[in-house]
Amino acid sequence: MGSTRFTCVGCGKCCNDHHVPLTLGESRQWAADGGAIIVLVEAFMGNGLGVDPSQLEHARRRSIRVRSGQADAWVAITFAAFNAGPCRHLDADNRCRIYTRRPLVCRIYPMEINPHIPLRTELKDCPSESWQQGPALIVGGQVADKELAGLIEQSRQADRDDIAAKAAICARLGFRVTALKGDGFAAYLPDMAAFTQACLEAHTAPGEQEWHFQLADSELGARLASLGAAVTHGDERCTLIPLRR
């Protein structure tokens, strides 16, 4: 295997029209700074439907087990900075105004967090010159920089540590519709005052709630229903974002 080089050239493209995944602590800070949060939910069945078997362990470690109708499911919840257009912290010179306390994912970019997703330079917004200079990012299929590797593991661990609290916050907000992993995401834009209050009260959240699946693929919906899962035609607060095929 060869090596992949990278350097940021300051084009600002990665700071436009990207919903940046945040840790729970970062989500609270983002809300406190006046930013908006988008909640993205996906789940797979207890029997593994919706996730590649090779990715099952990773998927379970960042999910929480829930009930859906008569079946078990595993729900993963992402809180992300809602950026329609430029990030609210990007200045006129494409510089980050919160650079020293920017989110983990921003520090890790352009690397992937999911260990099963390889870095594909052609899918990144960075111009070609970004990949023609700078230090080696990947050597022999491994992350070359130990500090960067540590940040990636820190982000993965936060996913595992935060999931129970995220589920409790969703329960407080009444969010209980999910997409099937691999089919899309169920997206919510919560009222930020309610979101902040739910974060404060997460430790006293109601008991386990039942989750319902909404599917972009009607055949998948019928298959889930046959397995005993609760399937819905939607929630007015929720938008289904199908995955690009």
What's residue 19's pLDDT? 93
Tell me what pLDDT residue 209 has: 83
HSE value, Cβ hemisphere, 13 Å, CA-based, for 216: 16
Q: Please compute the mean of the pLDDT values over residues 215-234 and round it to a whole number.
A: 89
Q: How far is CA 147 from the centre of its chain?
A: 22
Q: Which helix (H) or strand (E) element contains residue 239? A: strand 238-242
Evaluate whether 37 touches 190 at the Cβ level (below 8 Å).
Answer: yes
Measured between alpha carbons, how far is residue 212 from residues 67, 111, 127, 215, 222 in Å?
9, 33, 41, 10, 13
Domain assignment of residue 48, given as a range: 3-242
How many domains is the chain built from? Answer: 1
Closest by CA position to 25, among listed 41, 40, 37 = 37
pTM of the predicted protein model:
0.94
Q: What is residue 244's predicted lDDT score, i.e. its pLDDT?
A: 63
For residue 180, what pLDDT is reported?
Answer: 95
Instruction: Report how far residue 84's alpha carbon sits from residue 116's, in angstroms, rounded to the nearest whole number.
Output: 28
Chain mean pLDDT for the chain = 92
